[in-house]
Structure 1
């Protein structure tokens, strides 16, 4: 489906270009950019001298024979060119200029997520872009969209170091940052409704204009709730009601998805399958 992003498909293609990149290189690049206090990551990565520094650092990741060293250098050079090229494309792309979390762009963003959600390397690259916001301010929009996509894809973000990241004008609803290092992070105009910050480090943060929506009310229309069950992807809650019905509601919006009636007695328990394909009643009556 073609949406507001005219080059939506091209964006998916851009992410695909890093699928064969050695993921260790992402960490090495970030480490050197931080050490050198770089403000222009593209300019730095385009410099031959800096490329040699990165090559040297990558070679320290293991013990290589002469032949292996030459092969490793060849791969690293190719990967660095690929990463630099992708960053150049993203810099002037809608992904670095528009807010992908808006309702207007929801369907287009959803299409993009469907394409990349199972691509491990794409997820690693999105995390790399989030970290880049702490280094090069020209990629704050890009990194903010990246973090939004990661949250929507329910990528595992727990126990990660997101120190000093700068995120703005996006939604991180239901984000799971359990035991993350968010020290020094800058959040501005960010919706953090339902965000889990249990055990997270939050020293020296600068969070401005943070939005937290009121919690949705989940209740049966008639009578009390006997039991509840969450879907495995945490998108749906099932309520077993005293009026002998089962009510499915959307976690984010609180809206009713479906209602099962005509049970012979109270439904005391329910199970939702892993892929949300069916509900199974576990017990009826007292």
Structure 2
């Protein structure tokens, strides 16, 4: 065990032991994406408590648990190539009343990682699933990107296709998406992805490399500058990547937005009219709401 985690195990028991952890239940556990200290207290407690650990790579997860001072004897290998069969073994153990944890190699299972089929099989068997939240490269990068998320909306695209033609089609589809888009990529394919995204030209992209790790790097640039940015240093093609394509700036007709808002206000409550007008015209919801209040005040006067 890493000596610094001894106190963490004690804190986990103190903070989480009093909660209810039913038997015959699958616990879906998010694990660190790089920094061991990002493990949650409830995750530590549940990993100590469960009867078996199912995981994407038993060697990886065994090393992770040993770093925290947790030793388990019952392990199930459940990865993308055997997930359907592995899920049935998980279900069988749950039906025997065991508690089973599932962890992918990093981050949240089922989000561009194995785990979704396991959860579906457990739910189909009428057995409970409890998520234990934790680190995610998606939200980690979104929280640090220097570009406003309009209405906090974004699209998660995950890993784009590996084949060049299919990847190009996916990028063309992203070009039509006006909201921010989160894309993940592995080091051996990042150069190919950068070349494909360069077709998006001036559209902004925030790149997160080795998030939460010692050599974490976050950079914001234009999509057509991404290949050159990668080539500027050999280190930049190493590690796991998360990228956010920035929202496309909308050219708004303020007069049209007000006209639509007036029509909707004649038939609908203010909040509903504002919401629909924003969706139809792309105008900012708060600006439309202020305009609606101003009209209402003028009418009252």
Query: TM range, normalised to the smaller chain?
Result: under 0.3
Q: Which has the higher helix share?
A: 2
TM-score of the superposition, structure 1-length normalised? 0.27
Higher relative contact order (CA 8 A, sep 6+): 2
TM-score of the superposition, structure 2-length normalised? 0.26
